[in-house]
Chain A
């Protein structure tokens, strides 16, 4: 194999595998965040520690900070109810926050349904089941529009009658009833019918946060993409693998290193799994350059990174 190296990169090879904790950092933080949110809500009714009241749909923290889910609020608005200022402020705070950290960070770090679909995916991979049916990528956006349309028709937030996300979060906090059937149905759907189908293709709530994410400031960037050795680990682990290629391979016109697609959940799994440490969180507006001389796959890659002089290993013994 021919590798093209920038000058001064003949140092000792990197360690073969990074420590386990390093490889699972964002996954662990994500699970801690997901369970932590539920625990905060449950601390009140279970132990009388009222830090957060309400549910993921609308809540009050420490008796002052109102938070409301903007998508549910939008449905209520579509149903013809002019929302009260508390909801509007609460929704605006949430909107602002996710405009900052990436809309679908909600999906990865807060949504309890994510644990269910991740479990379905893990099991399906473990049993080596086929990936199954993949609905067209834009389906979720159509469904998002349809839920708002249904709210107008029915004059109530119709999707909230079955929305598995809010049904699950409410059930965890207020008691399940038959809600487990909805959750189980989504699990089976993701497990047997369409791997990653729910979060990745259907969920209108995810679509809504995806729209927000299209302008969000915090982004994952393939900062050190010259180091990529095409192992495909990131593509395998990513819940939305289609977003990686433009940033990693520079196939977009502007060849940005940032993952610009709004559907990226900012889950950070690619940062976790990449042995070459290609990925890192970065801000949309910050300049993303590799931090130092690296290993490049092509002369163009090296030149783009700002190296005028490149040596190749061609003809050399590694």
Chain B
């Protein structure tokens, strides 16, 4: 188009500032409204996802899954670990389940981790939500077994059930049988299944195998099970050992009054 010629009478000056301002204002209001809407949406989504963080105590994550928060950030919920698990152990949480939707989990009593040596689930994970550094399944920490019910455990009745002990892939390391006097009969021993947290992988085989109607030994998330001694707390015998001698020099140790007590002042 040509430039406006001088011949044509120029139209009366339109109110450009007013119109411009109106348009700008409308534009700004539109942007503000959209941004506010998006913000509210993001906030609602955030709150919703915080609600969905919860994991029932019986649901265990596959080997290599670290802290639940880090796992949820990393897991894209693709199901590759489930597909590569050769056993019917792993499942993907469905919509409406208590486990965050789409994430992999297993329930020990239903189907425990079978402790594959090559850990196919970890290899399958494309996002490293299951730590690829985990190459030895015995290093997995899916949970921690706890003998939750002393009142029904058959070994606590003085019987020799031992099933949890025997099915443990780390028999005599993760679970040992500790001999105790049986006060009921007065002449027998009780073999108490005892879990050692430094070795237990949390595979869940003990819980699966427990012969009771409802398992007396259960695998639970470590954070629910494990106690923690305060930082300030010192165990005298540990400190002495580390120190290589008595911590207070010249302290007289009186003999312990025990049957067949060692000689006075005698330290091992």
**Bound together:** yes
Contact A147 B42 (CB under 8 A): yes
Q: In the docked arrangement, what's the CA distance between A157 and B73, Å? A: 6
Among A73, A149, A177, which residue has its beta carbon within 8 angstroms of that of B97? Answer: A177
Among B37, B73, B84, B93, which residue has its beta carbon within 8 angstroms of that of A76? Answer: B73
Tell whether A240 is near chain B: CB-to-CB under 8 Å.
Answer: no
Among B34, B43, B100, which residue has its beta carbon within 8 angstroms of that of A136? Answer: B34
Contact A76 B76 (CB under 8 A): yes
Interface of A is mostly: helix
Q: In the docked arrangement, what's the CA distance between A177 and B125, Å? A: 23
Q: Which residues of B contact A142 (CB under 8 A)?
A: 34-35, 37-38, 41
Q: In the docked arrangement, what's the CA distance between A176 and B95, Å? A: 7
Q: Which residues of A contact B91 (CB under 8 A)?
A: 174
Among A69, A79, A146, A171, which residue has its beta carbon within 8 angstroms of that of B42? Answer: A146
Binds A, one of B44-52, B144-152, B157-165: B44-52
Tell me the smallest distance from the CB of A194 to a CB of chain B, in Å. 15
Known: A149-B42, A150-B45, A166-B102. A84 touches B132 (CB 8 A): yes
Q: In the docked arrangement, what's the CA distance between A55 and B80, Å? A: 7
Tell whether A133 is near chain B: CB-to-CB under 8 Å.
Answer: no
Known: A83-B128, A154-B46, A161-B52. A68 touches B76 (CB 8 A): yes
Counting chain A residues whose Cβ lies within 8 A of the other chain, the interface size class is 35 or more
Tell me the smallest distance from the CB of B106 to a CB of chain A, in Å. 14
Q: In the docked arrangement, what's the CA distance between A60 and B37, Å? A: 38
Contact A171 B95 (CB under 8 A): yes
Q: Which residues of B contact A178 (CB under 8 A)?
A: 94-96
Q: In the docked arrangement, what's the CA distance between A177 and B39, Å? A: 30
Query: Looking at B78, B95, B129, which has the most chain A CB atoms within 10 Å of its CB?
Result: B78
Q: Which residues of A contact B45 (CB under 8 A)?
A: 146-147, 150, 154, 158-159, 161-162
Q: In the docked arrangement, what's the CA distance between A54 and B92, Å? A: 11
Tell whether A143 is near chain B: CB-to-CB under 8 Å.
Answer: yes
> 4 nearest interchain CB pairs?
A177-B94, A178-B96, A58-B78, A84-B128
What would 7 more interface pairs be, CB under 8 Å, given A146-B38, A174-B92?
A84-B126, A86-B128, A138-B34, A161-B100, A162-B101, A171-B95, A181-B95
